[in-house]
Amino acid sequence: MQKMAKRYETQIQEMKEQHSREAREKTFIEEMQKQQKQMVEEMMKEKQNQMEEMMKEKQNQMEEMMREKQNQTEEKMKEKQTQMEEMMKEKQNQMEEKMKEFKQEFSSLKQENQEYRDQKKQDDEELTVIIENLIEMKKRNQSIFSKQPQQLNQNNNAGNGNG
């Protein structure tokens, strides 16, 4: 009986040891599962953080690109505006130059016209003097010729002996 009791005791001890081993294994497995779950959660958090960081980085890149594009667009607009202003100034300068030329030409024509009028006035005055002189000469000639026929008749009569 002692042998049996010893055997039972050994079996009980083995069962206790096995139960203790199983409990330790179960605790170990639970601890491993807990650690694995924690690692997975940490990995997930890390992945999420990486994704968020990547998204922020992408958003920053996009914003930077947009600012750069906007700056380029503004720069192009300024450039176009400057070109337009330069063109307008050039056109205005051309117009002013043409106006100067026109004014000079107009002034020159005005001066020519005045010179022509002055010359015409002078010519008219000279012509008037010439006409007056001709009229005066005609009057003198008429008075000379009006006297001449009588003298001619007297001379003729004296020459013919009729007188």
157, 163 Cβ separation under 8 angstroms:
yes
* Dihedral angle of Cα 103, 106, 111, 112, to the nearest 10 degrees: 150
Contacts of 154 (CB under 8 A, 6+ apart): 163
pLDDT digits 0-9 by tens, 112-163: 999 999 999 999 999 999 999 999 998 988 888 777 555 555 655 555 555 4
- What is the arithmetic mean of pLDDT over 38-63? 96
Contacts of 157 (CB under 8 A, 6+ apart): 163
144: helix, coil or strand?
Answer: helix
Gap between the Cα atoms of 137 and 157, Å rounded: 30
**Per-residue pLDDT tens digits for 58-82:** 999 999 999 999 999 999 999 999 9
> 67 — phi, psi (to 5°)?
-60, -45
CB 114 within 8 A of CB 106: no
Longest CA–CA separation in the chain, Å: 230
Q: Tens of pLDDT along 97-120? A: 999 999 999 999 999 999 999 999
Closest CA to 98 of 149, 74, 90: 90
What is the C-alpha separation between 160 and 154, in angstroms, rounded?
10
Tell me 161's DSSP state.
Answer: T
pLDDT grade, residue 12 (50/70/90)? confident
Question: What pLDDT is recorded for position 42?
Answer: 95
**Measured between alpha carbons, how far is 17 from 28 in angstroms, rounded to an integer?**
16
Q: Provide the residue ranges of all domains of the chain, joining segments of one domain with +.
A: 124-150
